[in-house]
Amino acid sequence: MELIGILLFLISVMLIIGVLATKFSSKLGLPALILFLLAGMVLNRFMYFEDVQLTQFIGTLALIIILFDGGTQTKWEKMKPILGPASSLATLGVLLTTFITGVAAMYILDFSLLEGLLLGAIIGSTDAAAVFSVLGNKNFNQRLTSTLEAESGSNDPMAVFLTVALIQMIVMPDMSIWSAIGSFFVQMGLGLAIGLLIGKTSVFVINNIKLDTSSLYPILAMGAAVFTYAITDYFGGSGLLAVYVMAVFVGNSDLTHRFSILRFNEGFAWMMQIIMFTLLGLLVFPGQLISVFWKGILIAVILMFVARPAAVFISMLFMRYNFRQKLFISWAGLKGAVPIVLATYPIVAGIDSSNLIFNTVFFVVLISALMQGSTLSWLAGKLKLTGEEDDGYASVELINLGDTDSEIMKVTIPKQSPAVNVSLSDLSLPDHTLIIGISRKKKLLTPTGTSVIEKGDTLYVLGDKERRKEAKQSLLGKMEKAKTPSDITGDIKTKE
């Protein structure tokens, strides 16, 4: 029992310190992962931990949950206009970053070409958790924020594919590169198809099943996300891509118990980040980092100042982003959980240079997060990419009221809404529908007949479930159709 007590004490301290660390990280403009990693490095002075396979399993589970949380909070209306640039960054951008960094690593670390490319692939993608944590509460240009969030949420599959393919080519030298290219299209295609299929199924099940308590719906949604990864991986597809696609579909659908699902996801994702980064920190010993100190700095500098900018400018060559915007996107390529989790793959595969790769990746992630994460706000200000007004996007959330026939809709009013500048007394709402609250500029207002709706207001609308469509029509007009996740494929008809 003494050992169990010590472990429980360490876990509790780890969670408490992790939560408190987020307060300091937001003030410093750093990704919280830095402090979690440092906490793990401190803890390894008091406990010995080297279970790489357990860390890889927990890391993969954490990535599923983080991607599911990020995907459900991604607005399709914001993502749709930048889908082309984000897709190019998530594929061609990762490939170019991998090649440039890999060639540099080959000379700096005295690696073979494949080993150098493997290191480049591991650190080739931006990290969703790091990007979300840095961009989330900052007043950056909305188009750039959406581009970076979409890129970071969708580029992990490319990094995973390249890492696994390069490991296989190192272990099996006779493997054909053409079979790897064919495998890429199969993985991405299956990931997209299965993600959409399970996303649509999940929405139907959540909206129609009657569970005894509303607290079970978030668990059902999370279970569907993990199932999406597992079944896609079983059939040879990209599990992470499937999870992200499924999450975007679910998050942009009319979903009962949406509020409780999103809040549960957010809290659970934070907990998994704390556990994952701390465990990853436990695998690192500061003494081993000293041996790659200067080489790690050189690779990090090449990655931040050469590989990432070159990848961004080339992959966005004919896209409508100016030089300042591309420069900002280049600097916002933060590294985090994915590279460190992927760095455990060579160790599990038994590659000779795996420990050097892991320590180098860890060092590069620390440098990237410290330098880029702490200066992102400053750079945005210098490039005059902050404070731009958002045109506003329609947003609808449903809050279920148990076994009743009523529900509360949380509706964010965009600039183009027909309800803007209309008083509540003049608003044509269906019978038995009432606006019970208005949130405006972080203040909750009590609605009266003379209250006038403004752009950006969030309305809390109490009404019958069967009159939901009429209420949305009154508040959003025909714009609500643009928000449905059916636009992801273009041929799935909305029920409404």
User: By the 8 A CB rule, do 286 and 88 touch?
Assistant: no
pLDDT tens, position by position, 437-457: 888 887 888 888 888 998 888
Alpha carbon distance 351, 345 (integer Å):
9
Q: Determine the CATH number of domain 395-483.
A: 3.30.70.1450
User: By the 8 A CB rule, do 338 and 121 touch?
Assistant: no
Q: What is the dihedral of CA 42, 47, 49, 55, to 10 degrees?
A: -60
pLDDT tens, position by position, 107-136: 999 999 999 999 999 998 887 666 766 665
Output the six-digit token pair for 267: 């809290």
Measured CA distances, 231 to 110, 238, 384, 415 (Å): 39, 10, 45, 41
Output the six-digit token pair for 13: 């301290």
Output the six-digit token pair for 106: 């080959």
Q: Can you give the pLDDT of all 496 residues of the chain as single tens digits?
A: 566 776 677 777 767 776 776 666 655 555 666 777 777 777 777 666 777 888 888 888 988 898 888 888 877 777 778 888 988 998 999 999 999 999 999 999 999 999 999 999 999 888 766 676 666 555 667 778 888 878 887 788 888 889 988 998 898 877 777 777 788 889 889 999 999 999 999 999 998 888 877 788 899 999 999 999 999 999 988 888 899 899 999 988 878 777 788 888 888 888 887 787 777 777 777 777 787 888 989 999 999 999 999 999 999 988 888 999 999 999 988 887 788 888 888 988 888 888 899 889 888 888 887 888 778 778 888 888 875 545 455 556 566 666 667 778 888 888 888 888 888 888 888 888 888 888 888 788 888 888 899 888 888 888 887 788 888 888 887 644 434 444 444 433 333 3
Cα–chain center distance at 214: 26
Q: Domain ranges in the chain?
A: 2-382, 395-483
Residues 6+ apart with CB under 8 A from 107: 116
Alpha carbon distance 346, 364 (integer Å):
17
User: By the 8 A CB rule, do 325 and 386 touch?
Assistant: no
Is 2-382 a CATH 1.20.1530.20 domain? Answer: yes
Based on the number of CB atoms within 10 Å of its own CB, is 361 exposed (0-12), middle (13-18) or buried (19 or more)?
buried
